[in-house]
């Protein structure tokens, strides 16, 4: 099997711990799964300027934590990624941006109300959160991994918004100790998972994060399926 190619979509800054941790978490998964893994950071403005064929180069996509220089371009990127069957993971601020994309696309806020809170994490440091899985799949991921995670963002969602989203678009994978949504997946997509927290930060070489290596395994499966159809 050829090496797995993952596009990390974000405005990389080597001084941001979460960006460095994203690279390391993929390295941890690569060693754990014994697979050749190549990842490439690509700025969102650059991706927005590419044609759809650009996405054919990669087996999976990770929308990294922000900050983003031009978050406006994310909507176009989300639209493309949703239309594919390739694995996608979002972490950090892109969690909120994707929710806003769904709200706008499906006209879920005709009154232009504030449906998503501002960031509830105060300051520039990571906040300790507890992740409580809600689905069998997520429970299995945390069978042998601590549910204590770190995040620099946390959002509260308007209850009626969640009802609309869960009814039509999303499955809630996990909540935190405040009962805020921390992870969701997109219905009718093989692997499209958004996390408000930063699993890459708690990943280690000795204990790779299960969410991350499951994402990589999904990329491996997609590549194998694609090659079997050729």
Indicate which CATH number applies to the domain containing 115: 3.40.50.880
Separation between Cα atoms, residue 68 and residue 72, nearest integer Å: 9
Angle, CA of 184, 110 and 79, to the nearest 5°: 45
Separation between Cα atoms, residue 48 and residue 74, nearest integer Å: 8
Nearest Cα to Cα of residue 57 among 105, 108, 7, 98: 7
Q: pTM value?
A: 0.93
Q: Using one digit for the tens of pLDDT, what is the confidence trace for 150-172?
A: 999 999 998 888 888 999 999 99
3-state helix, strand, coil in the chain (%, to 5): 40, 20, 40
Q: How many domains are there within the chain?
A: 1
Q: Are 17 and 201 in contact (CB under 8 A)?
A: yes
pLDDT at 78 over 60: yes
pLDDT at 178 over 80: yes
Q: Using one digit for the tens of pLDDT, what is the confidence trace for 58-70?
A: 999 999 988 888 8
pLDDT at 82: 94
pLDDT at 88 over 90: yes
pLDDT at 1 over 60: no
Question: What range does the domain containing 142 cover?
Answer: 4-228
């Amino acid at each position: 099997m050829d090496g797995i190619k993952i596009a990390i979509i974000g405005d990389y800054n080597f001084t941001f711990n979460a960006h460095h941790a994203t690279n390391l978490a993929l390295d941890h998964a690569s060693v754990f799964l014994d697979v050749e893994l190549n990842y490439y950071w690509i700025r969102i403005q650059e991706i927005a300027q590419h044609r759809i064929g650009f996405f054919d180069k990669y087996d999976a996509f990770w929308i990294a934590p922000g900050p983003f220089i031009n978050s406006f371009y994310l909507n176009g990127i989300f639209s493309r990624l949703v239309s594919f069957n390739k694995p996608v993971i979002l972490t950090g601020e892109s969690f909120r941006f994707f929710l806003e994309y769904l709200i706008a696309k499906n006209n879920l806020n005709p009154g232009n109300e504030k449906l998503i809170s501002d960031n509830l994490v105060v300051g520039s440091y990571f906040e300790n959160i507890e992740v409580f899985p809600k689905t069998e799949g997520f429970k299995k991921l945390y069978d042998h991994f601590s549910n204590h995670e770190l995040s620099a963002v946390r959002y509260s969602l308007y209850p009626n918004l969640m009802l609309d989203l869960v009814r039509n678009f999303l499955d809630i994978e996990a909540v935190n100790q405040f009962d805020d949504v921390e992870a969701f997946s997109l219905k009718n997509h093989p692997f499209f998972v958004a996390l408000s927290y930063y699993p890459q930060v708690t990943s280690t070489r000795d204990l790779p994060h299960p969410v991350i290596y499951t994402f990589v395994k999904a990329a491996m499966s997609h590549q194998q399926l694609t090659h079997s159809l050729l």
